[in-house]
């Protein structure tokens, strides 16, 4: 059977999400904990790769296991995993060929920005002590949904066969002392969300930010985008799958 773990983590505690030898990554920790509990080597496959410092409220990892699942697997996994990460749910795939990466219908990210210095937010959001024009940001966010080719927002030397992405949502929220950018798409390119945020912040200085952003998108030149915003403000909020593809496996708390 093929199973899926929904996992949340504090990205500042890991060297990214993907396995990199013996480095302390999210996937390495999950593989290690599963292998200990199931008493044989277990390899997981992730839905989305996040860079060092980037957080997740709901990344997804699938793995195979042919025996009965322990009714306290999630509880036992959380007891073994580092305190900076937690398994939220265990789900079972109806199709044994299910793939967490390729069967995902969309991924949603949130980028958090705060403007008043706060030592308790420095690893959780981007400190941006400059004027923010939400009207301009909301206008540029709307423009992003009109395009498909995002080559300008992909880091160089990325191994990708296409720069096309379908954007389902792109908008800014006002949270009082914070502003958040939310974007949801069928796929994202390497560094894309941070580039979208950084470039929109940069466009606020333009008299006509919408036209300026359009010019960057159509130029298909990554040197025109701004990739400089830090990863600590970025959250992989959810990985979504088509209805009926997965069902939650009931688990006992203890």
By annotation, the residues acting in catalysis are 51
CB 72 within 8 A of CB 252: yes
Q: How far apart are CA 199 and CA 213, in angstroms?
A: 8
Contact yes or no for 25/15 (Cβ under 8 A):
yes
Pull the structure tokens for residue 251: 């688990």
Separation between Cα atoms, residue 234 and residue 249, nearest integer Å? 29
CB 140 within 8 A of CB 183: no
CA–CA separation, 227 and 246 (whole Å): 35
233, containing H or E segment: none
3-state secondary structure (DSSP) of residue 244: coil
What is the 3-state secondary structure of 58-76?
A: EEEEEEECCCCCCCCHHHH
Helix/strand/coil for 216: helix
SS3 110: strand
């Amino acid at each position: 059977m093929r199973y899926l773990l929904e996992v949340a983590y504090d990205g500042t505690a890991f060297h990214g999400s993907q396995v990199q030898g013996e480095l302390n990554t999210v996937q390495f920790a999950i593989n290690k904990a599963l292998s200990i509990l199931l008493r044989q080597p277990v390899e997981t496959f992730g839905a989305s790769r996040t860079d060092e410092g980037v957080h997740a409220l709901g990344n997804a990892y699938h793995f195979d296991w042919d025996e009965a699942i322990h009714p306290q697997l999630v509880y036992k996994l959380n007891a073994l995993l580092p305190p900076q990460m937690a398994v939220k749910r265990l789900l079972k795939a109806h199709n044994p060929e299910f793939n967490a990466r390729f069967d995902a219908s969309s991924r949603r990210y949130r980028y958090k920005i705060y403007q008043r210095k706060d030592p308790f937010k420095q690893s959780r959001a981007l400190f941006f002590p400059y004027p923010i024009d939400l009207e301009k940001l909301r206008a540029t966010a709307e423009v992003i949904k009109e395009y498909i080719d995002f080559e300008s927002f992909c880091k160089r030397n990325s191994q990708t066969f296409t720069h096309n992405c379908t954007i389902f949502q792109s908008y800014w929220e006002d949270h009082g002392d914070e502003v958040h950018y939310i974007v949801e798409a069928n796929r994202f390119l390497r560094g894309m969300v941070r580039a979208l945020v950084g470039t929109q912040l940069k466009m606020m200085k333009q008299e006509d930010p919408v036209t300026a952003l359009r010019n960057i998108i159509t130029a298909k030149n990554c040197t025109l985008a701004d990739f400089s915003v830090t990863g600590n403000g970025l959250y992989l909020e959810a990985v979504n799958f088509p209805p009926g593809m997965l069902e939650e496996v009931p688990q006992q708390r203890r």
